[in-house]
């Protein structure tokens, strides 16, 4: 029997890169994966790869920052499955790298809305579904700048630092009330579109593939890790 047979997994930002790789890996291990991102066409391509490999998936195209979208998604999963075993919060935006004094306020608001406020909304809307699982697991993708500030990365780094604090607070709140656990994963230097935007002169051949991160996530989910675990993928 596959390691995650019977498990329901939800992966955000699943249309490409690390999110897509995680979705495909969890499906390969037997989970039914719900894929979310804004672009239906890209989600369909990931879904097709999962089907072709013998896995099962459902796509749910949505914008996490759109009012009511997260609640609607949670309601749909609640009605169909009544639980979520694995929730992987991967969706994020980089924004423009710039000195703190000249951060664009409008763009900073968008970064915080997606990278932080929408993530809290996901935790709120899916809390009961994670608790309904006998092994609910929340995995939050972060960045090294969330714990180690770097020049020009203030906006993105602040959003990730706040997200880490939020996720660890949630971990403390649920650990004695359910079997749900929380882990934070820093994927490290990985060949993604976001990485290419941040480091346009970098040779992508020197970076690890998203599948390496996906393997690490699957291994963690298959273990009895301590809630609050922070894993850096090298």
**What's the pLDDT tens digit per position in 43-67?**
999 999 999 999 999 999 999 999 9
Identify the residue whose tokens are 């060949």.
Answer: 191
- pTM over 0.85, yes/no: yes
156 is catalytic: yes
pLDDT at 2: 87
Residue 228 Ramachandran class (φ > 0 left, ψ -120 to 50 alpha, else beta)? left
CA gap 222, 214 in Å, rounded: 12
Q: Rg of the chain over CA atoms, in angstroms?
A: 17
Interhelix angle 154-174/118-132, nearest 10 degrees: 20
Edge-first strand order for the sheet with 181-186 is: 56-61, 32-37, 8-12, 86-89, 137-141, 181-186, 229-232
| Domains of the chain with CATH codes | 8-232 (3.40.50.720)
C-alpha closest to that of 103 among 142, 144, 158 = 158
Residue 1 pLDDT > 60: no
Region 179-198: mean pLDDT is 97
Kindly state the helix (H) or strand (E) to which residue 41 belongs, with its residue range. helix 40-52
Phi-psi sector, 95: left (phi>0), alpha (psi -120 to 50), beta:
left
C-beta of residue 24 within 8 angstroms of C-beta of residue 214: yes
pLDDT over threshold 70, residue 13: yes
pLDDT recorded at residue 225: 96
Mean residue pLDDT of the chain comes to: 97
Q: How far apart are CA 220 and CA 39, in angstroms?
A: 28
Closest to 88 in 3D by CA, of 122, 129, 59: 122
């Amino acid at each position: 029997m596959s390691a995650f047979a019977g498990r329901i997994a939800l992966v955000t930002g699943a249309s490409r890169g690390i999110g897509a790789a995680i979705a495909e890996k969890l499906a390969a291990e037997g989970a039914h994966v719900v894929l979310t991102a804004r672009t239906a066409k890209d989600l369909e391509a990931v879904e097709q790869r999962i089907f072709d490999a013998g896995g099962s998936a459902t796509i749910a195209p949505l914008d996490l920052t759109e009012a009511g979208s997260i609640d609607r998604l949670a309601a749909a999963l609640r009605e169909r499955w009544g639980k979520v075993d694995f929730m992987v919060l991967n969706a994020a935006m980089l924004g423009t790298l710039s000195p703190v004094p000249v951060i664009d306020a409008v763009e900073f608001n968008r970064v915080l809305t997606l990278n932080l406020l929408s993530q809290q909304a996901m935790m709120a809307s899916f809390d009961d579904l994670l608790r309904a699982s006998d092994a609910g697991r929340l995995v939050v993708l972060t960045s090294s700048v969330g714990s180690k500030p770097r020049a020009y990365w203030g906006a993105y780094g602040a959003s990730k630092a706040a997200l880490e604090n939020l996720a660890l607070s949630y971990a403390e709140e649920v650990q004695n009330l359910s079997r749900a656990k929380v882990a934070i994963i820093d994927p490290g230097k990985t060949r993604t579109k976001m990485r290419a935007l941040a480091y346009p002169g970098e040779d992508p051949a020197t970076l690890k593939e998203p599948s390496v991160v996906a393997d690490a996530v699957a291994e963690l989910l298959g273990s009895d890790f301590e809630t609050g675990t922070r894993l850096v993928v090298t």
